[in-house]
A and B are shown apart, each in its own frame.
Chain A
């Protein structure tokens, strides 16, 4: 259904170009060494971080996440993970902006339900409006509802990021048809965020025409996170190239030989 409107080239978000179409989270790793190794293997340029209270007096001399993954080397994408209201999400991202010296690119997610981590779309829309008005460049986690995705785009979000399936579930892409409708209508980048389980899921997202994929658990909780990070890098690249190349038409219920039918030695 989607026209191939995307041309070969970099991913462009809010006017900035990125070579990698794989965005990764930094949560759930064993330690910072593993975090850094996996992120290096993924080739990701944009990495998400959460904003949390500092443990006063604890680990005062130890490195922090942004020492290991400095903003000079990566585009840091602060998120609002764990926020259940628009007010909490906006407050969190204003703190993130102060923490990152005025950095405007952020990931908005407002959750609705602790069991499913499904997005609360009414609160997400309220937060998106407030953040856009305050000068933020908002990449927004959302349901795979084409109407909501379009509404977020119209508010001024710089990318829409529908879920493939529940956050951290690894269930893969459950509704490629909805993603297809979102992609068909969107004029901002569409990234699948949440639910990727393994490399083929990422490849399918990119083959559908998604502009990028954001994942965390699929890498961090793999048996070998660093190896999986490399696999995801290749899957995103392979899926993108397959999308750009254009797949062959499907022929239902009818084989088509690849070898000549003329010149056979038998009948």
Chain B
């Protein structure tokens, strides 16, 4: 079990997990988004290779309407 902070809220994820698996868990497959892990952007090419650990803090952002 991993305890993560995602977009400022605690979230438990079962078992071991990399960023790519997290994206799938969050139902973001196929969407346009960007992820920061502990303040550093994780490029798409590194999602699968980036393992998450207990206490990691993530920001997941998308484009929304704005001026």
Say whether B60 contacts A98, CB under 8 Å: no
Determine the chain B residues whose CB is within 8 A of the CB of A48 once the complex forms: 66-67
How far apart are the CA atoms of A126 and B67 in the complex, in Å?
22
Say whether A57 contacts B63, CB under 8 Å: no
Known A-B contacts A64-B32, A98-B41, A99-B33; the reply to A57 vs B27 at CB < 8 A is: yes
Say whether B41 contacts A65, CB under 8 Å: no
Say whether B65 contacts A64, CB under 8 Å: no
How far apart are the CA atoms of A176 and B65 in the complex, in Å?
29
Say whether A28 contacts B26, CB under 8 Å: no
What is the size category of the interface that chain B forms with chain A? 20 to 34
Say whether B31 contacts A35, CB under 8 Å: no
Residue of B nearest to A71 (CB): B32
Contact with B along A161-200 (1 / 0, CB 8 A): 0000001100000000000000000000000000000000
Of A73-81, A144-152, A202-210, A252-260, the one contacting chain B is: A73-81
Query: Taking each of A29, A57, A215, which has the highest tally of chain B beta carbons within 10 Å of its own beta carbon?
Result: A57
Say whether A76 contacts B63, CB under 8 Å: yes
Known A-B contacts A50-B66, A64-B31; the reply to A56 vs B61 at CB < 8 A is: no
Say whether B67 contacts A79, CB under 8 Å: yes
| Interface SS of A by simple majority | mixed
Say whether A54 contacts B67, CB under 8 Å: no
How far apart are the CA atoms of A46 and B6 in the complex, in Å?
31
Determine the chain A residues whose CB is within 8 A of the CB of B60 once the complex forms: 53-54, 56
Determine the chain B residues whose CB is within 8 A of the CB of A27 once the complex forms: 64-67
CB distance from A146 to the nearest CB of B (A): 24
Residue of A nearest to B8 (CB): A53
Task: Answer whether residue A216 sits at the interface, using C-beta atoms and an 8 A cutoff.
Answer: yes
CB distance from A163 to the nearest CB of B (A): 12
How far apart are the CA atoms of A29 and B27 in the complex, in Å?
26
Determine the chain A residues whose CB is within 8 A of the CB of B43 once the complex forms: 98
* 10 closest cross-chain pairs (CB), A and B: A50-B66, A25-B67, A216-B67, A98-B34, A60-B27, A99-B34, A49-B63, A26-B65, A53-B7, A27-B65
**B interface, CB within 8 angstroms of A:** 6-9, 11, 26-28, 31-36, 41, 43-44, 59-67
6 contacts across the A-B interface (CB closer than 8 A):
A51-B64, A64-B32, A64-B63, A65-B62, A81-B67, A94-B41
